[in-house]
A = this chain, B = another copy of it.
Amino acid sequence: MVDILHRIGATASADAVYAALTTVDGLADWWTRDTAGDTEVGGVIRFRFGPGGFDMKVLEAEPAERVLWEVVDGPEEWIGTRIRFDLKREDDYTVVVFRHEGWREPVEFMYHCSTKWATFLLSLKKLVETGKGDPAPQDVRISNWH
């Protein structure tokens, strides 16, 4: 099992970051405009990106501390993996320690997703710091795979 790891810090409150991870409007403002569903624990959030997307079941949501999702539909390599956002305050920053865990194999698609996650986490940082992120379909293009 292999994991994608990232860490960003934003000069915004933990509550503001948590809201961007646990509301449809917040998620739509940094990950993908086409976000819908139920962001409460036990709910399923549907993220769509042009041709495809992901359905995430919310397993944990601790205000200002942690959000954990399990991928219940999407690309075969993603199904059953988990996406974890751990929040903490440090040096006037809210730090997000991110893990997309449980990949079965380090396929080339995983390399791509690792870089894309970095760009989306920087979009989250930009959103909570400035009020404007870079969600799909206006996301950062990184390669021929988009």
Binding site for B on A (CB under 8 A): 2-10, 90-93, 95, 97-99, 106, 108, 110-112, 114-115, 118-119, 121-122, 125, 140, 142-145
Q: Is the interface of A mostly helix, strand, loop or mixed?
A: mixed
Q: Is the CB of A7 within 8 A of B115?
A: yes
Q: A111-B97, A118-B118 are in contact. Are A106 and B3 (CB under 8 A)?
A: yes
Q: How many copies does the complex hold?
A: 2
State the CA gap A3–B145 with chains docked (Å).
22
State the CA gap A143–B122 with chains docked (Å).
10
CB nearest to A103 among chain B residues: B5
Chain B residues with CB below 8 A from A95, complex form: 143-144
Q: Is the CB of B93 within 8 A of A7?
A: no
